[in-house]
Amino acid sequence: MESWQQQLSQSAVKIEDLPFIPESPEYRERLKRVAELYPIRINSYFLSLIKGPNDPLWKQVVPTVEELDDYIDGDTLVADPLNEEGDMPVPELVHRYPDRVLLMINNQCPIVCRFCTRKRKIGFPGIVTRETLRQGIEYIRNNPEIRDVIMSGGDPLLVPDKELDRILGELRSIPHLEIIRIGTRVPGTLPSRVTENLCAILKKYHPLYFNMHFNHPAEITPEVEKACAMLADVGIPLGSQTVLLKGVNDNAKVMKELMLKLLKNRVKPYYIYQADMTEGTDHFRTSVEKGLDILRDLMGHTSGMAVPYFVIDAPGGGGKVRLLPNSVVEHNKDEVVITNYEGKVFRYTQPNGKNGNGNSKAKHQDMCQLPA
Ligand SMILES: *Cc1c(COP(=O)(O)O)cnc(C)c1O
């Protein structure tokens, strides 16, 4: 098998390298403009999985001129929709929540996702440097309330083994830092990067968690399954995040297949994100109801293990907010009336409710089932 470095060096990076794009010279001319604004990268492994135009993998990585349309219409869509830059006490470290930070380790990725929330940064030179990294680690060392760091980017796993070992070692030398998380799309898009040597390095820095990124069941190939198994076998709890994307995974059948396939590979689905309001990505956005409908189709119909949190990362920097389909019909101090996944209605009497007397037998009788 080819090495990950080879697969990266054989990436599609120019318009001429792109699979299944229109022949028209005018179209290609406009795509050139897209590529100037937002770099292209599809490594040769991921390229080999693309079966045709508009397939769910093609859509995630092949640029289209729609990225330009949104750029002109920059009214509601912005380059930094979560205002990450506003929450950076030092460059390339986001400190938004009380006890955890996001630290950008580099700004290169194994593929450049067209819907990326950090489109403004990814693939450009000179953004994350040795100096920003040094300041980031220093900041964590000087702020004892930080007990959790998410190494992100870019993709932390594109950093060479020796350098990654050094960064992890420095972070682990900080006594108040309890857990380290790695946010990565590498296992799912460049699985050859998950080598024995990498696993041996990662294993030294427990408790270490992975937040991976998967959007479609076709991403879970035999190579990816092997990479996940190697990581799980060195004791890394594996989680996954998914972005709800129009034309890629905005239907319950695809989402369910993805979630169940992840579980089979010892990966726990963690988040489904409503797409951020990022400039150049409007054509990927779905309505919020779509996400709630998908959740409704998962909850109760399959294992709770397979149901991630559905979140909107609040525009302007409010952080992640979880949304749930409504299951409470009525709620007062005496009782809570709820519906289950089949739409049936149930009554739960509160301990201090008018029928509640602490007798569990009586309580059960009070929970009468009403017709849907
Ligand atoms: C998502 C995120 C985190 C981690 O959030 P959890 O909900 O704890 O996984 C931390 N910092 C930033 C800036 C984030 O966007």
Region 107-130 average pLDDT? 94
**Which member of 41, 118, 119, 181 is catalytic?**
118
Question: What is the band of 366 on the pLDDT scale with cuts at 50, 70, 90?
Answer: very low
Q: Which two tokens stand for residue 179?
A: 């857990």
Ligand 1 atom nearest residue 87's Cα? 13
69 is known as an active-site residue:
no
Sheet holding 309-314, edge to edge: 93-94, 100-104, 148-152, 179-184, 208-213, 238-243, 267-273, 309-314, 319-323
Torsion-angle region of 90 (φ positive above 0: left; ψ -120 to 50: alpha; else: beta): beta
Q: Which two tokens stand for residue 95?
A: 């400190």
Q: Average per-residue pLDDT in the chain? A: 93
pLDDT value at residue 370: 40
158-171 pLDDT tens trace: 999 999 999 999 99
pLDDT at 254 over 50: yes
Q: Give percent of the chain with pLDDT exceeding 70.
A: 93
**Ligand 1 pocket at CB < 6 A:** 94, 96-97, 100, 102, 150, 320
7-54 pLDDT tens trace: 999 999 999 999 999 999 999 999 999 999 999 999 999 999 999 998
Q: Whose CA is nearest to atom 15 of ligand 1?
A: 319
CA of 365 to the centre of ligand 1 (A): 43
According to CATH, where is 3.20.20.70 located in the chain?
Answer: 85-323
Question: What is the band of 263 on the pLDDT scale with cuts at 50, 70, 90?
Answer: very high
pLDDT value at residue 367: 43
What is the residue whose two structure tokens read 């409704």? 296
Residues 6+ apart with CB under 8 A from 310: 244, 271, 272, 274, 291, 292, 294, 295, 322, 323, 324
320 is known as an active-site residue:
yes
**Which member of 113, 181, 193, 256 is catalytic?**
113
113 is known as an active-site residue:
yes
pLDDT value at residue 353: 76
pLDDT value at residue 355: 59
pLDDT at 75 over 70: no
Q: Which helix (H) or strand (E) holds 169?
A: helix 161-172
Phi, psi angle pair for 336, to nearest 5°: -125, 125
Tell me the C-alpha distance between 43 and 22, whole Å: 21
pLDDT at 360 over 60: no
Region 312-326 average pLDDT? 97
Tell me the C-alpha distance between 14 and 310, whole Å: 35
Could you tell me which CATH number the domain at 85-323 has?
Answer: 3.20.20.70
* Pocket probe mutation, ligand 1, options 93, 102, 243, max atoms within 8 Å of Cβ: 102
Region 248-272 average pLDDT? 98
Region 192-213 average pLDDT? 98
Going by their DSSP bridges, the two strands 148-152 and 100-104 should be labelled as: parallel
Q: Decide if 109 contacts 64 (C-beta within 8 A).
A: no
User: Mind giving me the DSSP string for 76-141?
Assistant: T-BSSTT--GGG-SBTTEE--SSSEEEEE--S--SB--TT-TTTTTTT-TTSS-HHHHHHHHHHHH
CA of 104 to the centre of ligand 1 (A): 13
Encoded amino acid at 92, one letter? E
Of 98, 104, 12, the residue nearest 58 (C-alpha)? 12
Q: Give percent of the chain with pLDDT exceeding 90.
A: 90
Region 289-303 average pLDDT? 97
Ligand 1 atom nearest residue 319's Cα? 15
CA of 102 to the centre of ligand 1 (A): 7
CA of 241 to the centre of ligand 1 (A): 12
* Pocket probe mutation, ligand 1, options 150, 268, 270, 311, max atoms within 8 Å of Cβ: 150
* Pocket probe mutation, ligand 1, options 82, 88, 96, max atoms within 8 Å of Cβ: 96
Q: Can you give the pTM of this predicted structure?
A: 0.93
